[in-house]
Amino acid sequence: MKTLKPMFWRALPFIVAYVVVLALISAGVINDYIFAIIVTICINIILAASLNLVTGFTGQFSLGHAGFMALGAYTCALITMHFDSVFGFALGILGGAVVSALVGALVGLPTLRLRGDYLAIATLGMAEIIRVILLNLGITNGAAGLSGIPQYADWNWVFGLTAVTLIVLWNYIRSSHGRRAIAVREDEIAAEAIGINTTAVKVQAFTIGAFFAGIGGGLYATYFYVIKPDQFGFLKSIDILVIVVLGGLGSLSGTVVAAIVLALVSTVLADFSDIRMIIYSLILVLIMIFRPGGLMGSKEITDTVLGKVFRRKEAKA
Amino acid sequence: MNLRRRTLLGATAAVAAVGATTACSAKPGGSGGSAVTGDTIKVGVNYELSGAVATYGQASVDGITMAIDEINAAGGVNGKKLEIISYDNKSDAAEATTLANKLFTQDNVLVGMGPATSGNFKAIIPVANKNGVPVVSGSATADDVTWDGSTVQEYAFRICFNDSFQGTIMAKFAAENLGASSAVIIKDNSNDYSKGLADAFTTEFENQGGTIVTSEAYVAGDTDFNTILTRIKGQSFDVIYLPGYYSEAGLIIKQARDLGITAPFLGGDGFDSPTLLELAGASALNDVYFTNHYSSIDEDPTVQDFIKAFKEAKGAEPSAFNALGYDVGKFVADAISRASELTGDAVQKAMAETKGFVGVTGTFDMDEHHNPVKTILVIGLKDGVQDSSEKVG
């Protein structure tokens, strides 16, 4: 029992989020529009959290996340359209994640020997290659993309996949693998000097990041019915990066907060479409000026006052 | 560490700048309530007002607002005014879906208009079907938008002809009016519109007994086409079919004429932009024909009245997208006025039963696949200005 109680406290935010949304959906407070925003937030959390593992925790600047998202989206869409059932959808999500992870490992091996700006360019190129291949393959229907993808993503799926992503990443970062990744971020030469195989660490983080980006892509495909190669361009990678930077490099809870804040800002501004992008961009600039490390810096929610309360409860238990 | 942070800051600033430059104008929308409150009927506008294809969305919305303003000034539909609720989907399919949800479940509009492009329109059709709200697009021309060969999208309609129709008509025109028996195709490989037109043209042209000498391809964004054109120059052919957008087509025509290629250029509605003239120059634009939804030299009084009114309201010559948007607005109002009651189902039924609707882009009936049965115009250019227009189909 003693080990179960702290786990309960850690799971509490997830349980609360799940139950509250579920209750509001059945009460009819959350209509399709609000639900669409919640799904967007969850997909952005999955994508940004997986990129944060690569860029925030391992310190590898990647501009190719939309490429992995595209692989996940197309794989999931093709499998779901072929086996039109919940089982097919589950298979699609898994298949998309696996394909994406495989490509991530394959691309990561040569490119992760590069650093900084060079790596950014290489990953950018990789995402473009994926996009152009999708544009020219027959099975992906070229530039017109795939439409009529069956929608199986209800709240259970969306929440479940988001929670799994966050819990796995949280535990990974706190494992010995994660600490090696952080060591590589802090000082690659020092990390190498104490015997860490830096390339292996980077490829591992990159592969896991790609895996979850694939899941995010799969959810995106099934929720928004239509996917086209041009949805997964350079700007999509930047959109994801913005969430990571805004939340704080190396802060999973920061990513969650930033994804929610950006979605809310965008939603509120939807009614003022003529000045929306100006205000949105202005908010980004202001946050970067006043909080250059992002909303949460590299701290987690558990490092703040809220976390102390939790920890005391855990200690008592 | 410092370098990394600076790079990220730079990236963020770049995005912010991109975001700011793509921002543009739209009418703010209202919210809440049901489709019909007292004397107003709410209609939704979900268009690309910023982003990659903002020109199409803005032009369409200009046409729609003009039509709705005219209808309201004339007393509205059955005594009720139409109220537009407008959103910008940022040329993004996911955003279009989200906003469609907002229009249909929160704003409770009676009818939805847009988006302009086939991909974004396809993205909102499942939402429309789910909520029983009829949606109309004026420019989603991909073949499978409302009918994929087996099932009709119940609540989706369009008022423009589809891509393969354009290719087919142009092949007929080439064979019958220009007497061509051999053709070269130059298409944009990154674009489904271009590929669709090229395929339809090839099929029909070969049916007419013609031969396709060779097929060349480019990618949107290219600027130097001399390699393709030099290869073509050495061959013998009667016409060049160039189904693409004005931005590349203008350059291709200019460079071809500079190389001494004098064969007629044939294209689709992607040619319809003043930019074509700017890029190619007036002297290159002779013997150029393209299929289009409407022509400003059409002497039909409906067309001339529209052009005159548009010039007065917006101070510019209307484009095909303006005309199509205008027809979308009129078509929606027409269907609402014929509907037995003010519900999505009744309006959907009225739209499906449309017969002899008179629009700027032609008179049409709605067929069982929710596509209009309408004529197409083949426009000929002389020194860069429209010289002839012929109704075909």
Q: Does the pLDDT at position B30 exceed 50?
A: no
CB-CB: which of B4, B23, B144 is closest to A277?
B23
The pLDDT tens digits for A164-223 are: 999 999 999 999 999 999 999 999 999 999 999 999 999 999 999 999 999 999 999 999
Nearest to A131 by CA among A233, A204, A26: A233
CB contact under 8 A, A225 and B97: yes
- Rounded to the nearest 5 degrees, what angle is found at the Cα of A262, between the Cα atoms of A261 and A263? 90
**In the prediction, which pLDDT does B29 show?**
36
The pairing of beta strand B40-47 with beta strand B111-113 = parallel
Nearest to B277 by CA among B310, B297, B298, B249: B249
CB contact under 8 A, A143 and B191: yes
Closest Cα in chain B, distance from residue A222 (Å): 11
Residues of chain A with Cβ-Cβ distance to B153 below 8 Å are: none
Compute CA B318 distance to the chain's CA centroid, rounded to the nearest angstrom: 13
CB contact under 8 A, A273 and B86: yes
CB-CB: which of A59, A144, A285 is closest to B119?
A144
The residue among B24 and A72 whose pLDDT is bigger is A72
The pLDDT tens digits for A118-175 are: 999 999 999 999 999 998 888 998 888 898 899 998 999 999 999 999 999 999 999 9
**In the prediction, which pLDDT does B28 show?**
35
ipTM: 0.84
Q: Does the pLDDT at position B25 exceed 50?
A: no
Q: Does the pLDDT at position B188 exceed 80?
A: yes
For residue B57, give Cα distances in angstroms to A180, B102, B160: 50, 19, 15
**In the prediction, which pLDDT does A295 show?**
87
How big is the A-B interface in CB pairs under 8 Å?
A: 150
**In the prediction, which pLDDT does B219 show?**
86
**In the prediction, which pLDDT does B13 show?**
47
Q: Does the pLDDT at position A33 exceed 70?
A: yes
Task: Read off the tokens for A122.
Answer: 């290489």
Q: Does the pLDDT at position A272 exceed 90?
A: no
Nearest to B344 by CA among B42, B21, B3: B42
- Enter the pTM of the model: 0.84
CB contact under 8 A, A33 and B52: no
For residue B238, give Cα distances in angstroms to B256, B266, B270: 14, 11, 22
**In the prediction, which pLDDT does B333 show?**
96
The residue among A207 and B90 whose pLDDT is bigger is A207
**In the prediction, which pLDDT does A163 show?**
96
CB contact at 8 A, A212 and A169: yes
**In the prediction, which pLDDT does A308 show?**
65
| A228 → chain B, closest CA residue | B119
CB contact under 8 A, A225 and B22: no
Nearest to B89 by CA among A151, A67, A80, A226: A226
User: Which percentage of chain B shows pLDDT scores above 70?
Assistant: 90
Tell me the H-state helices in chain A: 4-27, 32-52, 65-82, 86-111, 116-136, 155-173, 176-186, 188-193, 198-224, 234-247, 252-269, 276-290, 305-316
pLDDT confidence bin for B20, thresholds 50/70/90: very low
Dist CA B319 CA B317 (whole Å): 7
Q: Does the pLDDT at position A312 exceed 90?
A: no
pLDDT confidence bin for B2, thresholds 50/70/90: very low
Q: What is the mean pLDDT of residues B362-370?
A: 93
The pLDDT tens digits for B91-106 are: 888 899 999 999 999 9
pLDDT confidence bin for A4, thresholds 50/70/90: low
**In the prediction, which pLDDT does A256 show?**
95
**In the prediction, which pLDDT does B113 show?**
97
| B26 → chain A, closest CA residue | A274
pLDDT confidence bin for B190, thresholds 50/70/90: confident
Q: Does the pLDDT at position B221 exceed 90?
A: no
CB contact under 8 A, A230 and B52: yes
**In the prediction, which pLDDT does A287 show?**
86
Q: Does the pLDDT at position A313 exceed 70?
A: no
Closest Cα in chain A, distance from residue B96 (Å): 9
| B123 → chain A, closest CA residue | A226
CB contact under 8 A, A143 and B192: yes
CB-CB: which of A143, A235, A281 is closest to B16?
A281
Q: Does the pLDDT at position B5 exceed 70?
A: no
Closest Cα in chain A, distance from residue B21 (Å): 8
Kindly give the interhelix angle for B301-314 and B54-73, rounded to the nearest 10 degrees: 100
Residues of chain B with Cβ-Cβ distance to A271 below 8 Å are: 28-29, 31
CB contact under 8 A, B16 and A284: yes
CB-CB: which of A224, A280, A292 is closest to B19?
A280
